Chains A and B, each alone.
Chain A
Amino acid sequence: MDFLYHIIIMIGIYTILALAANIPVGLANLLSLAQAAFYGIGAYLSAFVLLNFNIPLLPGLFVVAITTGFFSLLISLASIRLKGDYFILAALGFQLIVFSVLYNWTDVTKGPYGISGIPPPRLFAFIELTANFQFAILSVSLAALTSFLFYYLVKSPFGRVLKSIRSDELSVSISGRNVYQFKIIAFFLSAGFSASAGFLFAGYVKYIDPTSFTLDESIFILSALFIGGLGNVKGCIVGAAVIVILPELLRFAGLPDNIAANLRQIIYGLALILVMLYFPKGLAGDTMLK
Chain B
Amino acid sequence: METILNISNLNLSFISDRQKEESLFLFRDLSLEIEREKITALVGGNGAGKTTLFNVISGLQRGASGKVNFQGSEITRLSPYKIARLGIGRLFQGARVFEELSILDNMVIGAIHHANEIPFYNLLFYRKSMAFEKGLEEKAEAILSELFGSNNIFWEDRIKPAGNLSFGHQRLLAMARLLMGNYSLYLLDEPTAGVHVQFIEQIASAIRHMNSHSHKTVLLIEHNMHFVRQMAEYCLYMENGKIIAKGHPNDVLASDQVQQSYMGI
Q: Are B84 and A174 in contact (CB under 8 A)?
A: yes
- CB contacts (< 8 Å) of A177 on chain B: these are 81, 113, 117
- CB contacts (< 8 Å) of B114 on chain A: these are 157
Q: How far is the CB of B180 from chain A (nearest CB, A)?
A: 9
Q: Are B100 and A174 in contact (CB under 8 A)?
A: no
Q: Are A167 and B99 in contact (CB under 8 A)?
A: yes
Q: Are B90 and A174 in contact (CB under 8 A)?
A: yes
Kindly state whether residue A161 has any CB partner on chain B within 8 Å: yes
Interface of A is mostly: helix
Kindly state whether residue A265 has any CB partner on chain B within 8 Å: no
- CB contacts (< 8 Å) of B118 on chain A: these are 158
Q: Are A157 and B129 in contact (CB under 8 A)?
A: yes
Q: Are B98 and A173 in contact (CB under 8 A)?
A: no
- CB contacts (< 8 Å) of A157 on chain B: these are 108, 114, 116-117, 121-122, 129, 133
- CB contacts (< 8 Å) of B60 on chain A: these are 170, 174
Q: Are A167 and B112 in contact (CB under 8 A)?
A: no
Q: Are A160 and B119 in contact (CB under 8 A)?
A: no
Q: Are A176 and B85 in contact (CB under 8 A)?
A: yes
Q: Are A174 and B58 in contact (CB under 8 A)?
A: yes
Kindly state whether residue B110 has any CB partner on chain A within 8 Å: yes
- CB contacts (< 8 Å) of A174 on chain B: these are 58, 60, 80-81, 83-84, 89-90, 92
In the complex, what distance in Å separates the CA atom of A171 from the CA atom of B180?
14
- CB contacts (< 8 Å) of A160 on chain B: these are 101, 105, 108-109, 117
- CB contacts (< 8 Å) of A189 on chain B: these are 119
Residues from 196 to 255 in B contacting A, C-beta threshold 8 Å: none
Q: Are B100 and A163 in contact (CB under 8 A)?
A: yes
Contact (A158, B96) CB under 8 Å given A174-B58, A176-B181, A178-B79: no
Kindly state whether residue B120 has any CB partner on chain A within 8 Å: yes
Among B84, B100, B129, contact of A176 (Cβ-Cβ < 8 Å)? B84
Q: How far is the CB of B79 from chain A (nearest CB, A)?
A: 7
Contact (A164, B123) CB under 8 Å given A158-B118, A176-B113: no
In the complex, what distance in Å separates the CA atom of A153 from the CA atom of B92?
29
- CB contacts (< 8 Å) of B99 on chain A: these are 167
Residues from 131 to 184 in A contacting B, C-beta threshold 8 Å: 149, 152-153, 156-158, 160-161, 163-164, 166-168, 170-179
The residue in chain A whose Cβ has the minimal distance to the Cβ of B109 is A164
- CB contacts (< 8 Å) of A170 on chain B: these are 60, 80, 92
Q: Which of A153, A156, A172, A179 counts the most chain B CB atoms within 10 A? A: A156
Among A153, A168, A171, contact of B120 (Cβ-Cβ < 8 Å)? A153
Contact (A171, B181) CB under 8 Å given A160-B108, A161-B117: no
In the complex, what distance in Å separates the CA atom of A93 from the CA atom of B73?
42
- CB contacts (< 8 Å) of A287 on chain B: these are 100
Residues from 104 to 138 in B contacting A, C-beta threshold 8 Å: 105, 108-110, 112-114, 116-123, 129, 133
Q: Are B119 and A175 in contact (CB under 8 A)?
A: no
Q: How far is the CB of B115 from chain A (nearest CB, A)?
A: 9
Q: Are B98 and A164 in contact (CB under 8 A)?
A: yes
Q: Please, could you name 30 A-B residue pairs with CB atoms under 8 Å apart, sorted by A?
A: A152-B122, A153-B119, A153-B120, A156-B119, A157-B116, A157-B117, A158-B119, A158-B120, A160-B101, A160-B108, A160-B109, A163-B101, A163-B105, A164-B105, A167-B101, A168-B98, A170-B92, A171-B92, A171-B98, A173-B79, A173-B81, A175-B84, A175-B109, A175-B110, A176-B84, A176-B113, A177-B113, A177-B117, A178-B79, A189-B119
Instruction: Kindly list the 4 A-B residue pairs having the minimum CB-CB distance in the complex, ordered from nearest.
Output: A176-B84, A176-B112, A167-B98, A158-B119
13 additional contacts (CB under 8 A) given A157-B121, A167-B98: A157-B117, A158-B119, A160-B101, A163-B100, A164-B98, A174-B60, A174-B80, A174-B89, A177-B113, A177-B117, A178-B81, A178-B113, A287-B100
